[in-house]
Structures are given as C-alpha cells and as structure tokens.
Amino acid sequence: MTVRLAPTVAVGPQSPRPAARPVPDLSQVRTILRVILRRSTRGRMIAGRSGKPRGLIFVLVMYGVLGGFLSMLAFAHPDVFTFSLVMGAYTFMVAGMTMVGESSTMLFDPAENDILGHRPIHPRTLLLAKSLGMISLTLALGLAINLFPMFAGLATRGARWWFPLAHVVSLTLLVLFCSAAVVFVYALLARMVSRRTFDTVASWSQVVVTAVLIVSYQLVPRLMDRMQGFRIDAANPILLFLPPTWFAAVTQVLLGADTGTRTMAMAAAAVLATPVIGWAALRYLAGDYARQLSALGETPVAAKPEPHAIRPRRGIRVDALLAPWLRDPVERGAFRLAAAYLGRDRDVRMRIYPQLALFVVFPVISIIDRSQGSRFGVLLSVYFAATIPASMMMTLKASPHHAAADLFRYAPIAGTASIFHGVRKASLVLLVVPALIISGSILWFGLPDHHALLTALPALLALPTLSLLTGLSGDYIPLSLPPTTGRQGAINVGTMLIGGIGGIVFVVLGIIGDRAHWFWNLIVAEVAALAILHPLLLRGIRARRLSREGE
C-alpha cells in the first residue's frame, strides 16, 4: 500500500534569509548575558526562616565581612606592593574557587541545551556570554572582598590618593584572568577528552586548580616570612611565576611607585595573559565546547548495555559493611543516595571534590615550611575536616534533579531525621574519614614529631557530634533546591566561618591541654560532655516534624 503524504502546509511567508551575523554576535551576547545575570540575582540561594530569598546580597555581605578583617592588615603599615599582593592572593583564591565551583553549572547545564541548543547561536557567542556572566559574578564577589581593603590600602606605605582606583583596575584584571583561565581549561578538556571521561577529568582537574589556587595564596605569607620582616621584595625572581604578584605590580605601576623592569614585566604579564588565554578559548576551543555541551544533554534512544555501565552493587558493599550503624532503612537509603551523587553526579563532584585538595596542600605545606610549627598542618586538617559534613550536606541540598525531591514530601516519613543522618553519615564515611587518612598519613610520614598529631584527638572525637549541629535548623531534604549561582560561594564562606570554628576550638583545647599536661583529663571530660550532648542533639533532630507547604 502506498501512503501519500499531504503537501506541507505553508503557515506564512518564509522569513527573509538574514544577513550573515558577526561572530561573536554582540547583540546575542548582550541578550544572553542579561538573562544569566537576571537568573543569578533572582536565584533562591539561601532562604531565610521566612522563606524569603536573600539572594546574592547575602553572599556579598559575607565576602565583605571577610574583606573587612583582611583590611586590618593595612594598619600594620606594610608597603603598598605587599598589601596589594596579599589582597590579590586572597582574592585570587576566593574568586578562583568560586569560579571553579560555579563554572560547572554555568558552563555545562544539560537542561539549558534544550532551551538554547536549537537556537541560531554560534558557540563562540554562547561561550563569550557565559564567560561574561561568570566574570560579572566573580567581579561582584571580588569587589565585595576588596571594598574595605581598597580604602584601608591608603594607610599603606607608598600609597597615593588614587590607590582605590588603581586597586579596582588590578582587581578587574585579576578576575578576568581567573575567568579566562577557567574557561580555557574547560574548553581544552572538552577538546581533549570524550564525553565519557569528561566528567571525571573535569572534576579532578578542578581539584588540581583548587590546589594551585591555595598554593599560590599560601606562598605569599611564607615569602613574607622569609624576606625582610613584613615586606616582599618585588625584585625576587620567584614572584614572576605567581599570578597574584602580576596584578600587585599593576597597582604599583598605576601608582607610579615602581616602574622598574621587573615590575613592568610582571604588570605586562597581567595585561597580556588574560586576552591571550581568553582569545585562545574563544577562537579555537568554542566549537569543542558546543559539542561537549550538546553531548551532555543527549539522551540515548536504545537500551544497549553501555561500556561505562555502573557496576552493580558497588555502593551497596560500603553500607553493607556499615549495616549495624545504618539500621534504619530510610537512613540507609539516604546514605546510598548521597554516596551515588558523590560518586556519579557531575555537579556534586565538581562542587565537593575541589575541597579535597585542602587535605593534601596544607599538610604538605606544613611539612615543607616548619616556621609555623609542626601543629600547623594538624590544625588546618582538622579545621577543614570539621567543615566537610556541613559543606557536603549544604551542597547536596541543591541539584538539577530537585523536582524529584518531591518524593520526600509525599512519602510516609514523619520527619527528615533519618534522611539527615543518612547523608551525614555518608559525609563522615566517604569524605571525612578518607580526607583525614590522607592528611594524617602525609603528616605521619612527613613530620618528625608525631606527638603533634595527638592534639587532633579532641577535635576528632567531637567531629560526629559537631556534624549534628546542621540538623537543628529546618527540614533537611537533599537535592531539593535548584542549583543557583553564588550558592556554592556562600556555602564555602559560610562553612569556613562557622562550621570549622568548632574544630578549631577543640584543636586549640588539645594544644593547651597538651602544654599544660592535662591532655588526658581533657579527653575524659570531653568524652563525658559528648556522651550527654550527642544524645540530646539526636533527640532534638528526631523531634522535628516534616513541615508541609502552608504550615
């Protein structure tokens, strides 16, 4: 039988063929950028008790407070180069880490492919618009951090009245450099690896980028120590290889404080590196970025076994070992859910894995640089370990699959305590324990004084109890919020400020107890206190009832 198809129905005259558009199309860039910024500022990053969004303002205020603390440095009267370098190094780390954290959502949102993938947008235009979006966000954060320091810098030696202006210029260049570098790395990865390996390589490359950012930041105070007191000599050749110093040199040049060859060379590196890297990313790698983006959103049509198939029961073995600790089936389910997202979800991995770099970098630095004493690495390792549970649980609250979390609302669960404990235990077992083993091993083999490790004991004993604190605020429903711009930055700063304080308190107590020779008495007292506090916190969390919309 022959089937005759009806002729195509003409709905109207065809639109005239448009004239060739320039690439990148700046009008499209403007339009896309406007939407990106609107989404960022309207995003529901952190909701208050009233449920009203606090948005980007909340994050900016937090960064501003951090900058306020840092600006105190200016009143120790360092020279302007040293001050600019410290501020630049700090901004470099914070802005870079934010960029790394946000880039995953901003550059590779599979859902977005359905919206933009079929539009007549050149990949270079799209990449430029997204890069500008990232730059705007990071610049806002950078400005928030530097708001107080840019004026406090007037108190430094050699500063002129236009220091704030010069500082803003170098800061802008620094942010542009960070953005260009991150986009370049992603675009390069998109060219080099297949879709199957992209996710894994991308998340681990973020760990490396984070490690580099921290090392760059940490080298600055160490250089200050090794040089003449509280001053860094711009003539030191090692500075040529540290990007933050390039931007401090820009400030120097703009202030007319130093126009020597070396300073000029560093300033030139700052001015030239950004456009070169940015141009390379946009000119040569944009096509591969577009391919990778469309590959991320593709859906296989056939049910063929895939070479990257998940090994059955891989995650189950871990919780089978922990069966006595995960007796509640809901808790066990939440543990598995968190484990699966930690191991497989691109977005979660890219937000959490970079933190693991801290557990290698700080112990290594403390081994190389003994000037701070052997307890430095122990102190920071425990501090960061204490921030992990809160950080992971807050990170796991957001996911592109947030609509699926409605399941927790219509499933017969009275409260979110079991879910909270499942995710919390996953963070302890799958992140805190491995991180402490890594940093502990590095310190054990690297430090001659093993006694320093003992001072971590009070904090380690308190870790499970400290991890309960986040359960006291509201319903904990994992993966239930849409990922929004700036959220990860807020989590990083929030957990650094609040989450780790408990860890620090216990380590300091350990150090004091050790020096005053009542360490073991302290341990006994702590165990007794925790034996009371832990069940109380558990009871408080269990007593919370899952609220319904409208309650």
What is the contact surface with other proteins in residues (CB under 8 A)?
A: 10-13, 299-301, 303, 305-306, 309-310, 312, 315, 329-330, 332-333, 336-337, 340-341, 344-345, 348, 399, 401-404, 406-414, 479, 548-551
Give the closest residue to 129 by CA, choosing from 38, 37, 275, 30: 30
- Asked whether 452 and 442 are in contact (CB, 8 A), the reply is no
- Asked whether 108 and 293 are in contact (CB, 8 A), the reply is yes
Nearer of residues 10 and 19 to other proteins, judged by Cβ: 10
- The whole-angstrom separation of Cα 211 and Cα 386 is 19
- The whole-angstrom separation of Cα 31 and Cα 120 is 13
Nearer of residues 122 and 542 to other proteins, judged by Cβ: 542
Residue 173 Ramachandran class (φ > 0 left, ψ -120 to 50 alpha, else beta):
alpha
Nearer of residues 411 and 524 to other proteins, judged by Cβ: 411
Nearer of residues 315 and 499 to other proteins, judged by Cβ: 315
Secondary structure of residue 180 in the 3-state scheme: helix
Q: What is the closest distance, in whole angstroms, from the C-beta atom of residue 547 to other proteins in the complex?
A: 9
Q: What is the closest distance, in whole angstroms, from the C-beta atom of residue 345 to other proteins in the complex?
A: 4
Residues 6+ positions from 537 with CB-CB distance below 8 Å: 465, 468, 469, 471, 472
Nearer of residues 5 and 309 to other proteins, judged by Cβ: 309
- The whole-angstrom separation of Cα 129 and Cα 540 is 47
Q: What is the closest distance, in whole angstroms, from the C-beta atom of residue 277 to other proteins in the complex?
A: 32
Give the closest residue to 47 by CA, choosing from 399, 492, 456, 475: 475
Nearer of residues 9 and 19 to other proteins, judged by Cβ: 9
At which residue do the structure tokens 């807020």 appear?
A: 490
For 348-371, give one letter per residue: b (16+ CB within 10 A) or e: bbbbbbbbbbbbbbbbbbbbebee
Q: Which amino acid is at 23?
A: V
| Token pair in block for residue 216 | 């760059």
- The whole-angstrom separation of Cα 246 and Cα 81 is 11
| Token pair in block for residue 282 | 């946009």
Q: What is the closest distance, in whole angstroms, from the C-beta atom of residue 8 to other proteins in the complex?
A: 14
Nearer of residues 22 and 343 to other proteins, judged by Cβ: 343
Q: What is the closest distance, in whole angstroms, from the C-beta atom of residue 427 to other proteins in the complex?
A: 16
Q: Which residues pair with 157 in a beta bridge?
A: 79
Q: What is the closest distance, in whole angstroms, from the C-beta atom of residue 305 to other proteins in the complex?
A: 5
Nearer of residues 17 and 548 to other proteins, judged by Cβ: 548
Nearer of residues 84 and 395 to other proteins, judged by Cβ: 395
- Asked whether 278 and 184 are in contact (CB, 8 A), the reply is yes
Phi, psi of 397 (to 5 degrees): -75, -25
Q: What is the closest distance, in whole angstroms, from the C-beta atom of residue 287 to other proteins in the complex?
A: 25
Nearer of residues 64 and 415 to other proteins, judged by Cβ: 415
Q: What is the closest distance, in whole angstroms, from the C-beta atom of residue 484 to other proteins in the complex?
A: 17
- The whole-angstrom separation of Cα 334 and Cα 152 is 48
Phi, psi of 2 (to 5 degrees): -95, 130
Q: What is the closest distance, in whole angstroms, from the C-beta atom of residue 400 to other proteins in the complex?
A: 8
Q: What is the closest distance, in whole angstroms, from the C-beta atom of residue 318 to other proteins in the complex?
A: 13
